[in-house]
A and B are shown apart, each in its own frame.
Chain A
Amino acid sequence: MESVIIDQLKRDKILDLLKQGKRLDGRALDEQRPLTIETGIIPKANGSARVKLGNTEVITGVKVQPDKPFPDLGDKGILICTAEILPLADPHVEPGPPNEEVIELARVVDRGIRETEMIDLHQLVLIENKSVVGIFIDSSVIDADGNLFDACSYASASAVLSSTIPKYEIKDEAPVLVEGVTSKPPVKTLPVSVTMARIGDYVIVDPTKDEETCMDARITITTNSAGNICALQKGGGDGFSVDQLIKCSEMALSVGTKIRKKLEQLM
């Protein structure tokens, strides 16, 4: 929050443009910023990606290591997805324990990957109830210009797709790494999140930081390859009408299809 007056001026300008069907950066209302995905950027990680969505930039690394399963989920491998906004990404971010925005970001990204069942966790069991393979997907926002949800989601999915899973054998009931043998991750579907902001009566896709500072409400919808809606999170200090929510689900599917094509090229 730099200044309430500047925010109000920005909002007036952004709303003015929206009435003419335009946005500050010249995009259509349902148009995302250019997306570039680069994988394999951190060789020490089992998978990695650097994603740019306009001026928002995220680096995600995947680490794979044996672990104990969760007590009530002994027939599934472990999946943990985190996200953080590094202090170098934005002048307002301070080092320290994560605040509620960051926790929400991480949990929404996690929910997208988990609820679409992107990774078949049943295939990651070494000994049922005792030993499983864990997949840890950690995202770092390094440049923040709005819509961190989608940037982190795409980076996480890309990093998983580019990852190799090492082989573990069980010796004396303990997992032992088999050198030089790897496999592709057991991917079942491609999750694609689409974040939309409502400003006045207008719903726009992929808001920038400027658009986020003056939005009324936000929604992130994640779809799978079969065209189902799998995860959703409403945010922001106001609401949506039912018609807007239905329109948002349709936009999430149509916009998501283009992104999914990009992700498919990584498979």
Chain B
Amino acid sequence: MSEDGIRCDGRRVDQLRNISIKVGVLKNADGSAYIEFGKNKILAGVFGPRDVHPKHMANQDTGILRCRYHMSPFSVTERKNPAPSRREIEISKVLKEALQPALILKDFPRTVTDVFVEVLQADGGSRCAALDAAAVALADTGIPMRDLVSACAAGKVADRIVLDVNNEEDQEGQADMPVAIMPNSGKVTLMQLDGILTSEEYKTCLQTAIGGCRQVYEVQRRALIERYFESGVQ
């Protein structure tokens, strides 16, 4: 990072990468979205609420949510084995738990809502970008939601707290903290951290990430408005 706080990709410390979201990009899915978040290129498709297979997973009292985060073999520098890695399984779980609070699944007992996320190209912060796309894809299905979910990471690079850590910064950086919030309730539904932070830095980093989530929310909102109002589909 340069003296005046300009980062390796030319951003300021409090600046997000470019984000664009397109809603309703898949014909067969009940809801879908495509996000470009910096160099991340991610597709999200949602099916449901629908019958649960295998049947024993069904819950009499509520609908359930399943989530699969998967990286394409060509999404990273070295080819990735297409079988789900332990990292992908863990991310699938935290994404599910980040989306769940926003959904009202009680109204759909014995059903499942499946969220499939495919990372076509990864560039640091892919779990946050994946979550941003998944939330919009869920909204696109029309399933009742309390709120959207918006995610963004903050981190510590060259002793400074920065917003939206990219791949190089993640490799060289001192800490990475992905965070997701429900923007209207302010509740934090995803949070992870690796790296070393003091108590003060922890608070700053959390607030910085939440600030990023709020900016992402505006992009998500605009993408949904574009799909349902301006283009005149519905």
Contacts and interface: CB of A to CB of B under 8 A. Distances in A.
Contact of B177 (A114, A232, A250): A232
B206 A242 contact: yes
A239 B192 contact: no
A234 B206 CA distance: 13
B203 interface: yes
A238 B191 contact: no
B230 interface: no
A228 B189 CA distance: 23
Contacts of B15: none
A114 B100 CA distance: 29
A35 interface: no
B199 A241 contact: no
Given A239-B189, A249-B202, A230 B195 contact: yes
Contact of A242 (B60, B86, B189, B210): B210
A230 B203 contact: no
Contact of B93 (A100, A228, A238, A245): A100
B177 to A, nearest CB: 7
A240 B93 CA distance: 17
A46 to B, nearest CB: 24
Given A231-B193, A242-B188, A253 B89 contact: no
Given A100-B92, A253-B199, A111 B186 contact: no
A111 B191 CA distance: 14
B182 A107 contact: no
* Count class of interface residues, chain B: 20 to 34
Given A231-B193, A245-B206, A237 B90 contact: no
Given A115-B195, A115-B196, A107 B86 contact: yes
Contacts, number: 101
Contact of A227 (B194, B199, B206, B207): B199
B112 interface: no
A231 B177 CA distance: 9
A241 B179 CA distance: 12
Interface in B160-195: 177, 181-182, 186-195
Contacts of A232: 177, 191-193
A36 B176 CA distance: 33
B134 to A, nearest CB: 15
Contacts of A231: 193-194
B197 A229 contact: yes
Given A100-B93, A104-B93, A249-B199, A230 B100 contact: no
Given A234-B94, A245-B206, A253-B199, A239 B101 contact: yes
Nearest to B180: A239
Interface string A210-244: 00000000010000100111111111111111100
B191 A219 contact: yes
B61 interface: yes
Contacts of A227: 198-199
Contacts of B97: 234-237
A39 interface: no
A4 B187 CA distance: 26
Given A100-B89, A234-B94, A245 B197 contact: no
A166 B194 CA distance: 30
Contacts of A230: 193-197
Contacts of B89: 100, 103
Interface in B1-48: none
A228 B186 contact: no
Given A230-B194, A234-B192, A250-B199, A241 B187 contact: yes
A239 B193 CA distance: 16
B108 to A, nearest CB: 15
16 contacts: A100-B92, A100-B93, A104-B93, A104-B94, A107-B86, A115-B193, A117-B196, A228-B197, A230-B194, A232-B192, A234-B190, A237-B101, A242-B188, A242-B207, A242-B210, A245-B188
Given A115-B196, A234-B188, A242-B186, 12 more contacts: A100-B92, A115-B193, A227-B198, A228-B199, A230-B194, A230-B197, A234-B189, A238-B187, A239-B101, A241-B186, A245-B188, A253-B199
